[in-house]
Structure 1
Amino acid sequence: MSPVWQRTERKDRTGQDRTLDTDRIDEAALAILSLTLHDGDRVWKAIAWDITNRLFEKGLIADPKGKAKSLALTRDGIARARAILARDFSQPERSADAP
């Protein structure tokens, strides 16, 4: 099975198949990356520290300080992330015979 971040098909809470709108996700990621713009056209590969600090303060991720290159989402963080994906970045699955 593919990691969650690679799968684009999901079921919403009603059981309807939905597909993640990867174009919208890419646009959101680009906007977030632009928050670290420096030296004209350079951005950091990671999310800005002030964002991770706010997510930590909200209880959505574990403490981001340390040498680890990954972050741990809390249970609330996972639930909130899934809700945001469903609300803002998914679209109903089209049937093969739909126009």
Structure 2
Amino acid sequence: MEYDKEKADEMVLALLWLTVFEQDYVTRAWKGHSWEHLDRLHEKGFISDPKNKNKSVVLTEEGEKRSEELFNQYFGIEKPD
């Protein structure tokens, strides 16, 4: 199946926000997503290398900010003025 990989990467990054937690002064997220997408997010500088024994990845400062922004963009509820 062909699809827009850039949009899919954005969605995966947004969904990582659902599993964010703090550990040892870094922001981590569970890595239960496609390796293909996680590898591309790593190449883009949003997360640490997903190929390790950990069940989670570290979000970079930029990755943490962008993950939250995308989550709010796709799933946030607008509050009436």
Larger Rg: 1
Superposed displacement of residue 62, structure 1: 0.6
- Give the Cα separation in 1 of the matches to 2:80 and 2:69: 21
Structure 1 residue runs of 5 or longer lacking an equivalent are 1-27, 33-44
Say whether 1:87 aligns with 2:76: no
- Give the Cα separation in 1 of the matches to 2:44 and 2:80: 36
Q: Which residue of structure 1 aligns with residue 45 of structure 2? A: 59
Superposed displacement of residue 93, structure 1: 3.1
- Give the aligned residue type for 1:89: F
User: Within 5 A, what are the aligned runs for 1:1-99?
Assistant: 46-93=32-79
Equivalent pairs, count: 54
- Give the aligned residue type for 1:87: Q
Name the structure with the higher strand share. 2
Structure 2 residue runs of 5 or longer lacking an equivalent are 1-10, 16-30
SS in 2 for 1:62: coil
Please give the TM-score of this superposition, normalised by the length of structure 2. 0.56
Over the matched positions of the two proteins, sequence identity in percent amounts to 35
Name the structure with the higher helix share. 2
Q: Tell me how large the CA RMSD over aligned residues is.
A: 2.6
Moved over 3 A (4+): none
